[in-house]
Chain A
């Protein structure tokens, strides 16, 4: 069975500081990995995804993530955080569904607070 662990429930960083959000996954084959962001009262927005190829993937809003198979990790990073990045971040792992499509298993989320 696939699973995702986000060990940090809450993280607080100062504006302008660097950020790394941790994500570890369990999956029996090559995983499809995703990071989503959820602002208060909103749905989930895709930040970036990894399917294959280059293990460092770039996303929207200046985010990037690195897939490390040996560590079963897919950590999200941003060099300089902006106050508008305050939100909840979800890591997800995907597996193929019958007939196509992709079932996503989500982590429990990391709430990011940005101090001005």
Chain B
């Protein structure tokens, strides 16, 4: 977990509100991944960046979801407007340039949409 910082760790919001989840990876990574974990669907890959460029966003469930990586040390996942079914744990993960086959996960953000 020490290599990836996620904030907030917990977020409770009301339906219709905008939610922004943040990820701050350590240096040296070349890829960044956003996952969602629910009881029903398990771990799902939402989007993947390589060298700060979005490569595959086919896992993003709807247009309400968007992700950005403005620089190598910061990424955001935004949900606007949020819905109760978005309640889940969202993980950010990275892979390092010299160990590109391994992924290192952050501690996650637990999102509850009322």
Q: Is A43 a contact partner of B106 (Cβ separation < 8 A)?
A: yes
What count of chain B residues pass the 8 Å CB interface test?
A: 24
* B93: A residues at CB distance < 8 A: 44
Q: Is B106 a contact partner of A97 (Cβ separation < 8 A)?
A: no
A42-B107, A43-B1, A43-B105 known; A101+B50 contact, CB < 8 A = yes
Q: In the complex, what distance in Å separates the CA atom of A42 from the CA atom of B70?
A: 27
Interface residues on chain A, size class: 20 to 34
- Taking the closest CB of chain A, its distance from the CB of B44, in whole angstroms, is 9
A43-B106, A46-B102, A94-B101 known; A100+B43 contact, CB < 8 A = no
A106 at the interface (CB under 8 A from B): yes
- Taking the closest CB of chain B, its distance from the CB of A63, in whole angstroms, is 16
* A43: B residues at CB distance < 8 A: 1, 4, 91, 105-108
Chain B contact residues: over half helix, strand or loop, or mixed? strand
A89 at the interface (CB under 8 A from B): no
A99-B50, A100-B50, A101-B95 known; A109+B42 contact, CB < 8 A = yes
* B106: A residues at CB distance < 8 A: 43
* B17: A residues at CB distance < 8 A: none
A75 at the interface (CB under 8 A from B): no
Q: When the two chains form the complex, which single residue of A32, A44, A97 contacts B50, counting CB atoms closer than 8 Å?
A: A97
Q: When the two chains form the complex, which single residue of B43, B48, B91, B107 contacts A101, counting CB atoms closer than 8 Å?
A: B48
Q: In the complex, what distance in Å separates the CA atom of A36 from the CA atom of B48?
A: 19
Q: Which 9 A-B pairs have the closest CB atoms?
A: A101-B31, A43-B105, A99-B50, A106-B43, A44-B105, A102-B101, A43-B107, A108-B42, A101-B100
**Sampled A-B contacts (12; CB under 8 Å):** A36-B105, A43-B105, A44-B91, A49-B102, A99-B50, A99-B51, A100-B31, A101-B30, A101-B50, A103-B45, A103-B48, A106-B43
